[in-house]
Copies of this chain bind each other. A is one copy, B any other.
Amino acid sequence: MALGKDYVTQECSIARALEVVGERWTLLVVRDAIYGVRRYNDFLAHLGIPRAVLSARLRTLTEEGILEKRRYQESPPRDEYVVTERGAALWPVLRALGRWGREHVDAHRLRLFLHADCGGEVEPYGKCAACGTLVPVADVVMVPGPELDSAPADPVSRALLRPKRLLEPLETEPPQPAH
């Protein structure tokens, strides 16, 4: 369903995957979710996505079991979207895309991914260059690369400048008290 009329004739697991995550914005929402973004307004600020499209993507990703909608406070009722194991399994897809983007579109090293246990760099296929382990997503620490903008406009990008473990919730700055 994800692509309106889907790739029905395709007997291929690539097409199956793209039916679920191939729509515009979808993989960027998943990327942000893996980066630890969980709240509607944070996705909104970081992605610059239209609200209606974000609502639609969050709904279908939740239906597909890639995100899980979770009440994090009553009164006022507030929900957050947490990436599931199924969603985290998309990490290799994102690494592969990121590698291709860096090598074939734009050579900047914007973010580095390090192994939390040993500090070694995690290679695109998930192995730690230092100790050789296949690093699970939860043990990856993301740090800004040398060429990443160090003073971005939106608060979510700023929060993502601090080294942080993937999957852990992102902590954004508390809102400034009014003037």
A contact set with B: CB distance below 8 Å: 3, 7-20, 22-24, 27-28, 31, 47-48, 86, 89-90, 92-106, 108, 110-111, 124-126, 148-149, 152, 154, 157
By the criterion CB–CB under 8 Å, are B17 and A105 in contact?
A: yes
**Complex copy number for this chain:** 2
Smallest CB-CB A-B distances: 4 pairs: A17-B101, A13-B101, A16-B101, A13-B102
Residues in chain B near residue A27, CB distance under 8 A: 14, 18, 22
A104 nearest CB neighbor, chain B only: B86
**Which B residues lie within 8 Å of A47 (CB)?**
7, 9-10
Q: Which residues of B contact A22 (CB under 8 A)?
A: 24, 27
- Which residues of B lie under 8 Å from residue A105 when comparing CB positions? 13, 16-17, 19-20
- How far apart sit A97 and B14, CA to CA, in the bound complex (Å)? 5
CB-defined A-B contacts under 8 Å, sample of 6: A7-B47, A10-B28, A12-B110, A18-B28, A19-B105, A93-B97
- Cβ 8 A contact of A100, one of B3, B89, B100, B106: B89
